């Protein structure tokens, strides 16, 4: 059973906060898997601040929301990636430095993120990601569309 199946099971069981956390991790993983040039292009402001808040914090939020409910291989992969992010040297996250992504510390993060995208079934889930995110957010926030009455 792949992780995509786990995600759909959570959705079916009403575990919407877990699904949202995973859905928000995918764009973070996509960014972290990019080349240094692609990362530089994707972030308009301070690369260190933006990378931390937009792409690294969602990893920790996913671990907190899903924890032991995740398949162990995925959980270990996310924990490892989170540790790699926290272990970046000062030079690799220097505030205001547009070249931080060229630092050698970023390559293990790219490799780990790429592996996790495959392990988490990104190709299977990707086409449904936006709808899944919106639907789960609507459920959590109580914005569920009215259901037609049966006659």
What pLDDT tens digit does each residue of the chain (151 aa) get? 699 999 999 999 999 999 999 999 999 999 999 999 999 999 888 899 999 999 999 999 999 999 999 999 999 999 999 999 999 999 999 999 999 999 999 999 999 999 999 999 999 999 999 999 999 999 999 886 655 565 5
Between the CA of residue 97 and those of 49, 55, 86, 89, what are the distances in Å? 10, 17, 18, 13
Rounded to whole angstroms, the Cα distance separating 122 from 27 reads: 10
For the chain, the domains span 3-141
Helix (H, G, I), strand (E, B) or coil at 29: helix
- The answer to whether 59 and 82 are in contact (CB under 8 A) is yes
pTM of the model: 0.89
- pLDDT for 143: 84
Angle at 65 between CA 59 and CA 15, to 5 degrees: 125
- The answer to whether 4 and 132 are in contact (CB under 8 A) is no
- pLDDT for 145: 62
Exposed/middle/buried for 111, CB within 10 Å: 0-12, 13-18, 19+? middle
Tokens of 149: 């009455």
- pLDDT for 44: 80
Rounded to whole angstroms, the Cα distance separating 21 from 29 reads: 12
- pLDDT for 105: 96
């Amino acid at each position: 059973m792949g992780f995509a199946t786990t995600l759909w099971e959570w959705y079916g069981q009403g575990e919407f906060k877990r699904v949202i956390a995973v859905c928000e991790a995918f764009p973070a993983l996509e960014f972290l898997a990019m080349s240094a040039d692609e990362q530089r292009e994707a972030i308009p402001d301070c690369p260190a601040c933006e990378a931390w808040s937009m792409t690294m914090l969602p990893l920790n939020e996913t671990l907190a929301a899903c924890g032991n409910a995740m398949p162990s291989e995925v959980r270990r992969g996310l924990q490892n990636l989170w540790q790699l992010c926290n272990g970046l040297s000062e030079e690799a996250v220097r505030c205001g430095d547009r070249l931080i992504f060229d630092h050698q510390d970023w390559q293990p993060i790219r490799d780990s993120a790429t592996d996790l995208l495959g392990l988490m079934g990104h190709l299977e889930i990707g086409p449904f990601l936006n709808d899944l995110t919106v639907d789960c957010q609507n459920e959590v926030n109580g914005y569920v569309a009215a259901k037609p009455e049966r006659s």
